[in-house]
Amino acid sequence: MSMLSASQRLQTFANPTRFMALSGRIVGPLAIVSACLLGAGLYYALFDSPPDYQQGDTVRIMYVHVPSAWLAMFGYMVMAGASAMALIFRHPLADVCAKSAAPIGAAFTFLALVTGSLWGKPMWGTWWVWDARLTSVLILFFLYLGYIALWTTIEEPLRAARATAVLALVGAVNVPVIHYSVVWWNTLHQPASVFRLDGPSIASSMLVPLALMALGFTALFITLLLVRMRAEILRRRVRSLLMARARA
Amino acid sequence: MMAEFFNMGGYAAYVWPVYGLAALVVVGVIWQSLADYHAQLKLVSELEALAGGRIRRAAKQPSQDAT
């Protein structure tokens, strides 16, 4: 702490303060937007979309599975991007962002894996197969868990931030592997049907609930990220207040 | 009509656990995030109240010396 220059110390306090004021105003409305999108998405997903001509009503699993899988990767990209910012620019909020994104990303990765399994059993006849897509997403889940575990093993936040940022960046090679796994290898998992060069190959009656759920999940992710970042900033404040008390 | 909806074309055993688990995970993460936030908020206000008392005392003393 004593090694920090006065300007660095000022930056450490100024930016989180501004973030707290700004995020405090955004988080409530964003939570309402998430709830509305998810409500509309659920309505279309369960009541106002047709069963698939091949997969029947199991297609409704897609409206949870695909947004979860997107967020599993989006969460990791947020975490790796923020980690890079923390390492290169030492932005005081970057490692707070990376740390806060990890548990949310891990939760959605878990959801993607389990809902995929529940979809695989009726459609492929198996709960699990060691194909490239499933295996690389399982590795993503373990990367999240390792990242979270590393934060808890190093007590000093600045040192923990550096070590975890390196881990997050090394693990980032897995993200393009997940995305292209269905192209590079012959997988049981089907290839992309929304983000394609020739446009979505999915019927609009199914694209509407999928898009609403994906937007709702993403808005929820950002809401939760803000709440967790606010909690993390407060936690560091508690730490510095306790240290100040210990010195006094 | 209702029974048909819950039957999910014979796939009820797969579709409903997906939605149930998703609800459980989402509510769980929301609950844990908010609980942690409020716990930290409480700690900060308690510690600041303690430190604030000391700062006010420290601020008073120099002015007394000056007069």
Q: Which residues pair with A56 in a beta bridge?
A: A52
How do residues A220-244 score in pLDDT, each as one tens digit?
Answer: 999 999 999 999 999 999 999 999 8
Establish if A33 belongs to a structural domain. Answer: no
Q: With a CB-CB cutoff of 8 Å, which residues 9-48 of chain B face chain A?
A: 9-11, 14-15, 17-19, 21-22, 25-26, 28-30, 32-34, 36-37, 40-41, 43-44, 47-48
pLDDT in tens, A92-149: 899 999 999 999 999 999 999 999 999 999 999 999 999 999 999 999 999 999 999 9
- At A220, give phi and psi (nearest 5°): -65, -40
Kindly report the nearest CA distance between residue A198 and chain B, in angstroms: 30
* Residues of chain A neighbouring B40 (CB-CB closer than 8 A): 231, 234-235, 237-238
- Looking at the predicted structure, is the pLDDT value of residue B63 above 80? no
Looking from the CA of A214 toward its CB, the CA atoms found within 13 Å total: 15
**Residues A218, A219, A222, A227: is their CA dihedral positive or negative?**
negative
Is residue A207 situated within a structural domain?
yes
Q: Which of B11, B36, B43 sits opposite A56 (nearest CB)?
A: B11
Q: What percent of chain A has pLDDT over 70?
A: 94
Q: What does each C-alpha distance from A87 to A143, A159, B5 come to in angstroms?
A: 19, 11, 52
Is A64 contained in some domain?
yes
Tell me what the pLDDT averaged over chain A comes to.
91
Amino acid at A200: P
* Local confidence band at B67 (pLDDT 50, 70, 90 cut-offs): very low
What is residue B54's predicted lDDT score, i.e. its pLDDT?
Answer: 64
For residue A56, CA distances in Å to A5, A26, A123, B8, B14 come to 64, 40, 10, 8, 12
Cβ–Cβ below 8 Å for A237 and B44: yes
| Residue A200 confidence (pLDDT) | 82
| Residues A197 and A176 sit within 8 Å (Cβ to Cβ) | no
pLDDT average, residue stretch A55-80:
96
Start-end of H helices in chain A: 6-46, 62-89, 94-124, 132-153, 157-171, 174-184, 204-247
The answer as to whether A21 is a domain residue is no
Residue A98 lies in a domain: yes
**Model pLDDT, residue A90:** 87
CA distances from A26 to A31, A214, A226, A230, A237 (A): 9, 20, 9, 12, 21
Residue A52's beta-bridge partner residues? A56
CB within 8 Å: A231 and B47: no
Q: What would the pLDDT profile of A149-182 be if each residue is shown by its tens digit?
A: 999 999 888 899 999 999 999 999 999 999 999 8
Kindly tell me if the per-residue pLDDT of B28 is higher than 80.
yes
Q: Are A167 and A126 in contact (CB under 8 A)?
A: no
Find chain B residues with C-beta within 8 A of A231's C-beta.
33, 36-37, 40
> Does residue A122 fall inside a structural domain?
yes
Residue A113 lies in a domain: yes
Confidence (pTM): 0.89
The domain of A171 spans: 56-247
Overall average pLDDT of the A208-229 stretch? 97
A12 inside domain: no
Domains contained in chain A, number? 1
Rounded to an integer, the average pLDDT of A23-27 is 95
CA dist list (Å): A86 to A108, A183, A219:
24, 33, 24
